[in-house]
A and B are shown apart, each in its own frame.
Chain A
Amino acid sequence: MTKEQAVDFMIKKVEEIERERLAAHFSIDPTKQKKEVVDGILKALKGVEIDHEDQQS
């Protein structure tokens, strides 16, 4: 995907992860929750494949 598509994808993905966190707001320890969110975003980011040509452009 292009960088713009990757940004759009990650905006949606981060929102989705944050919504899940909010739904579990009262059941999970906040520190653990923060770590899970950060790791979740990084994991989603790893799955993003950027077009080589787009990177060069």
Chain B
Amino acid sequence: MKISKVEFQNFRNFRDHCELTFPTDGSVTVIYGPNGVGKTTLHQLFQWIFYGEVHFNKTASNKMYNLDFEQSVGFHKTFPVLGVIDFEHPNAAGVVEYYSLRREWIYQKEQYESKVITKKFRLSKRIGDDWKTVSDNPENIIEQILPSGLSQYFFFDGESMIADLNQKGRDSAKSLRKALYSIFDLDIYEQALVHIGTQSSGTSTVLGKLYLSRAENSTNKDVIIARGAYNQSLKKVESLEEEIERCKNAIARYKAEAQDLSEKIGSNPSQEALEKRRKKARDAIKTIEGAIQREMKSFGATVMANYPYLLISRVVEEAELRIGLKVEDQKLLPGLTKDLVLSLLNEHTCLCGNPIHESEHAELESLLKMFPPLSYKYIYDQFKNSATRWSATYDSEILLKHLEAIFQYRDQIASLQQEIHDIDEEQKQGENVDALIAKRAKAEESQRYWRGELDKFTKELGLQEQIKKQRKKKLDDLLARVGENEKLDAQIQIIEAVRVYYDSTLKASAKRYSETLRHAIQDLLGKMLTSTRQVSMTEKFELSVRDSFGDEAKSEGQFAVVSFAYIGGIFKLLGDVPALRDKEFPLILDGPFSKLDVIQRQNVIDTIPAYAPQVILFSKDDINACFGEEGVKNVWTIYSNAERNVSHVERGYNPEVFSVNGTDY
């Protein structure tokens, strides 16, 4: 598989839509981003799109959205988080096929935390010029193409690897063992061995059951007594094993509790810190209340500016009705004015020279009444013009925006009041340090008690194991004397042979894979380190690197080189496995380049392109020069705002970002 494009919106730091394209010709891509801008988030995005799961600080998170984006959404409204990956992948016949994978989670905003209400997942395949949705188990297709058990190696976090190497690499060994056992089906063999068990492992295993069946079939009195005694021992041992498990669980629980309490003691906020937080929240409430006052004033001003229009438009409507009855346009001839009517009333003859009779005089009188002091028609027209003018500026949305802003401010106040309430609660519950220390002492005391119990039961188990062994030997002797049970003996022999097969296959496979991996790591370290280092790897995949004096590597620089060699070795191992040989996997590597010196860095960059058919590197350090005079061809840079909560990605190399150390860019 090679990724050609990733597209996303509203994913953690990345509020706005971003799109990155990648070459699929084998050339390396570098994504630059200093601490805090969203480098890890972008690295995790790939896993979220493929598998719907991410881990931030080793904790699985469901909160994928950008907090700034969420704040802009109204309560109970929904909003999406989107991620798309376009990739190409050769089919069984070696023909390259093109896919587009889209994951979308729809959230609903609630008072305290938005919740996922819908999860959408769609895989499309390009057929000709069209994209067809793959409806037949798309998750399984992704699993076949990019097995989730190996995801931490396709999307490798070098920093975490270094932290683990500091702890003797136990976590890495454990998870690598799990991943490889799953990929090579060795977990099936491992579990089969547990279920087959041994002849002395009791009634919960195949061989244990077969052995007891053999004894149960006998009618010999001594065998019956010996079988009863052996059964008792089995039950006793099983019960002790359960007790030991219970003790171990209790110890682990109290140990975790003590650790948790230690952290609380260490991080227990002082009264002063709580008061500071409370004051901050109260100040914020005051500021928001001021903003509400301003919004209310603006609302009032908007109403005052627009209300006359509402009033006048109502008057105009009524006036129109009334005047409609009174004003008859045909009676007020065009051009007829009040002055002309008054002048005619004072005359005896008309302008045309004809006399003005009594009836015409009365008509003029009635016309005059229609002009007091201006015509209704004139007033109506004036109102109408004003109303039209006001209506052009009136916008109900403006009023609505003021109201919405007020509601949002009130929500913010409610949230801050809740925060103050939480601080009060924290203060109440935030047992004083003395109480926490007393609790921790109690948890440690409980640990001691359970350790004592564990010792007691372990000793008892040792004794009972001895008794069980003796009783089994006695039963074995008796069974040998009373003769063979052909069928059961044959069955036991068959299952013993099956057990030997699984056991030897498992051991041989673990040895082969760990040796292949060790050799690959040794080879890469030889290319990357100037001094000689001896790599060893147990069959449980525990890695150690020693110098010529036999001392283990300790420096972070060496661990960093080892982490690169480790991932390179794993890709080499995957390439050697027949079932995976024809598949191609990308390497999206968050590399600890800052811990390497100049020579190590160059050596690492020289070997990286050979690890996988596609390599995408995340780096906070400028590694451009390591790629020769032309530098890296495919570069993207992550930029962030001052608050580090809104980031975006731009194509191109920007040397300035490396000189602005610790500040925003």
In whole angstroms, what is the CA distance A16 to B360 when docked?
119
Q: Which residues does chain A contribute within 8 Å of B187, judged by CB atoms?
A: 22
Q: Is the CB of A15 within 8 A of B494?
A: no
Q: Is the CB–CB distance between A3 and B494 below 8 Å? A: yes
Q: Point out the residues of chain B lying under 8 angstroms from A37, CB to CB.
A: 191, 195
Residues of B within 8 A of A (CB): 187-189, 191-192, 194-196, 204-206, 209-210, 486-487, 490-491, 493-495, 497-498, 501-502
Complex contact B494–A48 (CB within 8 A): yes
Contact of B188 among A7, A22, A50 (CB under 8 A): A22
Q: Which of A7, A18, A21, A34 contacts B494 (CB 8 A)?
A: A7
B192 to chain A, nearest CB (A): 5
Contact B204 A14 (CB under 8 A): no
Q: Which of A11, A22, A42 lies in contact with B501, CB distance below 8 A?
A: A11
C-beta contact mask, A7-50 vs B, less than 8 Å → 1, else 0? 10011001100110110000000000011011001100100101
**CB nearest neighbor in B for A7:** B497
Q: Closest CB of chain A to B249's CB: distance in Å?
A: 15
| Contact, CB under 8 Å: A6 / B195 | no
From known contacts A34-B195, A35-B204, A38-B209, infer whether A14 and B498 are also in contact, taking CB-CB under 8 Å.
Answer: yes
Closest Cβ neighbor of B190 among chain A residues: A18
Contact A6 B494 (CB under 8 A): yes
Report the Cα distance A9→B495, complex, angstroms.
Answer: 11
Structural contact, B206 and A3, CB atoms closer than 8 A: no
Q: Considering the chains assembled together, what is the distance between the CA atoms of A15 and B505 in angstroms?
A: 13
Does A55 make an interface contact (CB < 8 A)?
yes
Identify which of B191, B210, B493 contacts A42 (C-beta below 8 A).
Answer: B210
Hey, which chain A residues are within 8 Å of B491, CB to CB? 45, 48
* 17 A-B pairs (CB sep. < 8 Å): A3-B494, A6-B494, A11-B498, A11-B501, A14-B498, A18-B188, A18-B191, A18-B195, A22-B187, A22-B191, A34-B204, A38-B195, A38-B205, A41-B206, A42-B209, A42-B210, A55-B486
Do most interface residues of chain A lie in helix, strand or loop, or is the interface mixed? helix
Task: Tell me if B191 and A10 are in contact (CB < 8 A).
Answer: no
- What residue of chain B has the Cβ atom nearest to residue A50's Cβ? B490
In the complex, what residues of B have CB within 8 A of residue A48's CB?
A: 491, 494
CB pair A45–B204 under 8 Å, yes or no, is no
* Residues of B with C-beta under 8 A to A38: 195, 204-206, 209
CB distance from B523 to the nearest CB of A (A): 34
Q: Are B498 and A10 in contact (CB-based, < 8 A)? A: yes
Q: How far is the CA of A15 from the CA of B374 in the complex (A)?
A: 106
Question: Please, which residue of chain A has its CB at the minimum distance from the CB of B213?
Answer: A42
Determine which of B195, B205, B206, B501 lies in contact with A7 in the assembled complex, contact meaning CB atoms within 8 Å. B501
- A41–B188 touching, CB < 8 Å: no
Give the interface centre of A6, A34, A35, A38 by most chain B CB atoms within 10 Å.
Answer: A38
Closest A residue to B497 by beta carbon equals A7
Interface magnitude class on chain A:
20 to 34
Which residue of A is nearest B490, CB measured? A50
List, in ascending order, chain A residues with CB within 8 A of B497's CB.
3, 7
Q: Is B188 a contact of A10 with CB atoms below 8 Å?
A: no
B213 smallest CB distance to A (angstroms)? 9
Partner of B192 from A6, A18, A35, A50 at Cβ < 8 Å: A18
Q: With a CB–CB cut-off of 8 A, which chain B residues contact A21? A: 191
B210-A3 in contact (CB<8A): no
Collect the chain B residues with CB atoms within 8 Å of residue A50's CB.
487, 490, 494
Q: Please, how many angstroms separate the alpha-carbon atoms of A37 and B210 in the complex?
A: 14
What chain A residues lie within 8 Å of B487 (beta carbons)?
A: 50
Beta-carbon contact of A55 and B195 below 8 Å:
no
User: Closest CB of chain A to B209's CB: distance in Å?
Assistant: 6
Which chain B residues border A42 with CB–CB below 8 Å? 206, 209-210
Q: How far apart sit A55 and B495, CA to CA, in the bound complex (Å)?
A: 15
A48 CB to nearest chain B CB (Å): 7
Q: Are B495 and A45 in touch, CB under 8 angstroms?
A: yes
The answer to whether B188 touches A19, judged by C-beta atoms less than 8 angstroms apart, is yes
- How far does the Cβ of A27 sit from chain B's closest Cβ, in whole Å? 16
Residue of A nearest to B491 (CB): A45
- Bound form: Cα–Cα A17–B204 in Å: 16
**B103 CB, min distance to chain A CBs, angstroms:** 21
Hey, which chain A residues are within 8 Å of B204, CB to CB? 34-35, 38
**Smallest beta-carbon distance B211→chain A, Å:** 12
Q: When chains A and B are docked, how far (Å) is the Cα of A48 from the Cα of B502?
A: 19
Chain B residues contacting A15 (CB-CB under 8 Å) are 188-189, 192
Residues of A within 8 A of B495 (CB): 10, 41, 45
A residues near B195, Cβ cutoff 8 Å: 14, 18, 34, 37-38, 41
Residue of A nearest to B195 (CB): A37
Contact B498–A7 (Cβ < 8 Å):
yes
State A45–B204 Cα separation when bound (angstroms): 16
Chain B residues with CB under 8 Å of A11's CB are 498, 501-502
Please give, as numbers and ranges, the residues of chain A lying within 8 Å of B196 by CB-CB distance: 14, 41
Residues of chain B with a CB closer than 8 A to A6's CB: 490, 494
Complex: A22 Cα to B498 Cα, angstroms: 19
> Nearest 8 pairs between A and B by C-beta?
A7-B497, A18-B188, A37-B195, A41-B206, A10-B498, A50-B490, A6-B494, A18-B192
| Cα–Cα, bound, A41→B490 (Å) | 15
Chain B residue contacts of A35, Cβ below 8 A: 204
Please name the residue on chain A nearest to B496 by beta carbon: A7
User: Are A14 and B494 in contact, CB atoms less than 8 angstroms apart?
Assistant: no
Closest Cβ–Cβ distance, residue A7 to chain B (whole Å)? 4
CB distance from A45 to the nearest CB of B (A): 5
Instruction: Determine the chain A residues whose CB is within 8 A of the CB of B192 once the complex forms.
Output: 14-15, 18
